């Protein structure tokens, strides 16, 4: 198989597997006081320190969770509840229109059930939120805004947001700023301190760690209401027994990703550019979505639209040829609707439905691009014919 879906999940790195299996062999709950518990606690705290160093944060900033979705829920709900409890006027949630469903659906739930007022920040044709757009959205009443959330890099089209500038706008208005950095972490420089964010989401399985562990970085002094109550672990923000093997593997993957980052950025960008160039040669009508190649785009992301085709049909035809990719966020896969990201960028429904995301990661090689290019032309032709026949059938 040719795997071009690293944005959905990426294979575990050898360093992470080694750390994971070593921790599995040593029983102990990190909250227990006996020797086994203390060993587990040491493993957890060493992992916390390691992640903090990689992310330009303090160890106390790192709150371990069960993954990116939990971290996003904790950031959005926790900030909304704590900020509104302190001042009932704080009901507005300013969230970019191209967020991952983990943020959008959480904010929508708060609007339906908790009295929040959700306001979507518009983006330009590349998926970018401009600082002046955020400033205008805050308006003349910043005291009514509970929090702002804009993802560091888009999970579908790969556009990188000006996070530090957006955070400065938020702070100038006295509003906490959260960013979902799940896609950015491991592909671009990701410093919690330099970003200016008050809360930042990351996930292990996007960087070669295991599924089921993530973290929310939370600035000291920021009040978050927990979404789960219990033993008071993780600064009483996220109760529950810690996943010691997962945490150890997460830290190992992060260290490995950080060590190879500069070289890997250049390698993936070159592979990505070769993929885009050759696919556009094979399918002249195809178009690249998102920011142009360069510093404004994730190096491993290529998101393309194939006019006259349905993305789901293309995906299954490519899968039959041994090429694995996606139509967008894996967390919303199987839902028959056009990409909300492309619609927010101004695309029409037909354009949004005919898109595929090819994402590269550690382990990707030139042979993967070769395999895609070898089959993409015939696959698009077949999908386009199927679309024409479906159109004729629907017209009777």
Residues classed as catalytic:
331
Rounded (to 5) percent helix, strand, coil in the chain = 45, 15, 40
Pairing type for strands 199-203 and 177-180 reads parallel
Q: Residue 335's beta-bridge partner residues?
A: none
Q: Is 382 exposed, middle or buried (0-12, 13-18, 19+ CB in 10 A)?
A: middle
* Bridge partners (DSSP) listed for residue 302: 358
Chain centre to alpha carbon of residue 93: 19
308 φψ region: left (φ > 0), alpha (ψ -120 to 50), beta (else): left
What does the angle CA 68 – CA 70 – CA 72 come to, to the nearest 5 degrees?
70
Q: What distances in angstroms separate CA 71 from CA 46, 204, 206, one per listed residue?
A: 21, 12, 14
Do residues 196 and 167 touch, judged by C-beta distance below 8 A? yes
What distance lies between CA 117 and its chain's CA centroid? 24
Q: Are 253 and 12 in contact (CB under 8 A)?
A: yes
Q: How far apart are CA 364 and CA 356, in angstroms?
A: 18
Max alpha carbon distance in the chain (Å)? 74
């Amino acid at each position: 198989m040719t795997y071009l879906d690293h944005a959905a999940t990426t294979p575990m790195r050898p360093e992470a597997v080694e750390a994971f299996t070593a921790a599995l062999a040593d029983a102990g709950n990190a909250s227990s006081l006996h020797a086994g518990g203390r060993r587990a606690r040491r493993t957890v705290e060493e992992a916390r320190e390691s992640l903090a160093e990689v992310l330009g944060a303090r160890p106390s900033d790192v709150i371990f969770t069960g993954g990116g979705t939990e971290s996003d829920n904790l950031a959005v709900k926790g900030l909304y509840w704590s900020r509104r409890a302190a001042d009932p006027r704080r009901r507005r949630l300013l969230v970019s229109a191209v967020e991952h469903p983990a943020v959008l659906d959480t904010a929508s739930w708060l609007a339906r059930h908790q009295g929040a007022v959700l306001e979507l920040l518009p983006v330009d044709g590349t998926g970018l939120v401009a600082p002046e757009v955020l400033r205008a959205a805050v308006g003349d009443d910043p005291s009514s805004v509970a929090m702002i959330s804009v993802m560091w890099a888009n999970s579908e089209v790969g556009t990188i947001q000006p996070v530090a500038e957006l955070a400065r706008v938020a702070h100038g208005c006295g509003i906490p700023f959260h960013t979902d950095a799940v896609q950015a972490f491991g592909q671009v420089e990701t410093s919690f301190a330099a970003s200016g964010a008050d809360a930042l989401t990351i996930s292990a399985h996007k960087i070669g760690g295991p599924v089921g562990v993530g973290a929310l970085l939370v600035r000291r002094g920021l009040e978050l209401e927990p979404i789960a109550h219990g033993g008071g672990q993780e600064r009483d923000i996220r109760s529950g027994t810690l996943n010691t093997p997962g945490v150890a593997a997460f830290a190992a993957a992060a260290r490995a990703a950080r060590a190879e980052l500069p070289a890997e950025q250049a390698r993936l960008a070159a592979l990505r550019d070769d993929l885009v160039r050759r696919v556009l040669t094979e399918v002249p009508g195809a178009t690249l979505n998102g920011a142009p190649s360069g510093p404004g785009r994730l190096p491993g992301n290529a998101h393309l639209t194939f006019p006259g085709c349905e993305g789901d049909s293309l995906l299954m035809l490519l899968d039959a040829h041994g090429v694995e990719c996606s139509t967008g966020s894996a967390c919303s896969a199987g839902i028959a609707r056009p990409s909300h990201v492309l619609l927010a960028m101004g695309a029409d429904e037909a354009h949004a439905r005919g898109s595929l995301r090819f994402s590269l990661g550690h382990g990707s090689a030139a042979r993967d691009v070769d395999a895609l290019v070898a089959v993409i032309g015939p696959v698009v032709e077949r999908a386009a014919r199927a679309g024409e026949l479906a159109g004729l059938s629907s017209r009777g």
